Homo-oligomer: A and B are copies of this chain.
Amino acid sequence: MNAPGALIFSAFPLLAVELDANHAPLVLAGVLLSLVVIYFASKVGGELSGMLDFPPVLGELIAGVAIGASALHLLVFPENGAIAADSVIMTVLQWIEPLTPAAAASIFQSEGEVISVLAEIGVIILLFEIGLESDVKELQKVGYQATIVACVGVAVPFAAGTAGLMYLFNVPAIPAIFAGAALTATSIGITSKVLSEIGQLKSKEGQIIVGAAVIDDILGIIVLAVVASLAKTGEIDILNVVYLIVSATAFLVGSILLGNVFNKSFIAVSNLLKTRGNLIIPAFIFAFFMAFIGNAIHLEAILGAFAAGLVLEETDERKELDEQVKPIADMLVPIFFISVGAKVDLGVLNPFLPENRVGLTIATFLILVAIVGKVVTGWAVFGQPGINRWAIGIGMIPRGEVGLVFAAIGAASGALDKSLQAAIIIMVILTTFLAPPFLRIAFGSAQASPEQAPDVVP
């Protein structure tokens, strides 16, 4: 597929190296400027979103769209087909030091790669933090109701989304499965914040929603690992799917079981260390190693990081570790959310262009499935007469972080084309916008005094 490129690299490997080494200070300058832009956008977006009572992550995502390929071109990536001349940051670098087109292309390429890897490390840290803040013991108590709601909330949107895309719109199997999978996740952060605001976090409905959202995250990460692995091989055969589901589940459950043994020695080692970073560095050695293993066995790096977080969640040092991970997450996670937004080109869904009609219809279909597929989960609850089924269903609607992780990994693997990717981003934005007001209505508008929300990410 890239044989000519490969030949060129093997013929002149040293030239390519020299070219890059020579421009190393400008790559750094480009990365620094990109980070300034990313952080500025993330704060403006996050704060505006917070003021309007929406979750900050939504504002960060929209800020990413605003500075990215859809609008301002402050942050564009070569992997999405942009060239150096498209990038405002490269234009600034050209003012500082005039560059040949080839040098500019090489710097743009390196800078984009560095920001992409920083974003990937950001999502690894995010999933590590989510794992660290999940309470495995609490989860075991949530009971059947939440588990059933979670399973229905994964199965219905996945099946309806995938089948609809394949049979109504003739989308090939792999992208259809990927887009269907992106409909499965539920954002615990958004829902639990709204529930606490209207004083329903400790209600029966609230407990079921929060429990189901946590289980949903775990199921979603397993589904993602399986689907991403299918996308890599490009083949769907039942044996492979079964193998992947079993291995992803075994990896996660096995890590947690082994972790109960391991976390005592982790603390013992950390207590022995006397130099700075005695807690965070061993934790990162573990998390990055697990992420590497997740990647190496053809699942996903984030699955490993999430498992590592679940294991360390069980230790006595969890709280202190969480304190130290927070600033690191604050630094790296926005790079991920902003990049996801920036990589999407919403122009592909511009309704004024006739060639976009199919893409728009698909986007509308995905959004409908995303909403209906979660609302039905309310009727999966059994043996609870008088329970507010609408509230449970609506509480499961917002997609948030994990939906974005799907869109990012789908785009990076090449499984999702531009319009499917844009459709998923719009789906995440809309479900997140719609859920809070609807949830208030379903619970009969704002009541009671706000309770303490659990730690919300991010």
Contacts and interface: CB of A to CB of B under 8 A. Distances in A.
Interface of A: 1-2, 4-10, 12-22, 24-25, 27-29, 31-33, 35-36, 39-40, 42-43, 46-47, 50-51, 56, 78-79, 81, 83, 96, 100-103, 105-106, 109-110, 113-114, 116-117, 120-121, 124, 232, 273-277, 280-282, 284-285, 288-289, 291-292, 295-296, 301, 324-328, 330-331, 334, 412-414, 458
Contacts of A110: 110, 113
Nearest to A28: B120
Contacts of A328: 327-328, 331
Contacts of A280: 327, 330-331
B20 A275 contact: no
Contact of A29 (B78, B116, B296, B414): B296
A301 B43 contact: no
B117 A9 contact: no
B292 A106 contact: no
A295 B29 contact: yes
Contact of A295 (B25, B324, B330): B25
Residue of A9, A282, A301 with highest tally of chain B CB at under 10 A? A9
A20 B109 contact: yes
B292 A36 contact: yes
Contacts of A21: 78-79, 412, 414
A22 to B, nearest CB: 7
Contacts of A301: 25, 28-29, 32
A102 B7 contact: yes
A13 B295 CA distance: 28
A285 B28 contact: no
Given A31-B121, A96-B296, A328-B331, 12 more contacts: A5-B16, A6-B100, A8-B8, A13-B105, A17-B109, A20-B78, A31-B117, A32-B289, A39-B285, A39-B288, A46-B275, A277-B330
B13 A1 contact: no
18 contacts: A5-B12, A5-B15, A8-B12, A10-B102, A13-B105, A21-B414, A25-B295, A28-B295, A29-B292, A29-B301, A33-B292, A36-B285, A39-B284, A39-B285, A43-B275, A51-B274, A277-B331, A284-B331
Given A28-B301, A328-B328, A113 B116 contact: no
Nearest to A300: B25
Closest 8 pairs between A and B when the two form their complex, measured CB to CB: A5-B15, A277-B330, A6-B102, A324-B327, A21-B79, A32-B292, A9-B102, A10-B102
A40 B286 CA distance: 10
Contact of A330 (B22, B106, B124, B276): B276
A232 B24 CA distance: 12
B43 A79 contact: no
Contacts of A2: 15, 18-19, 22
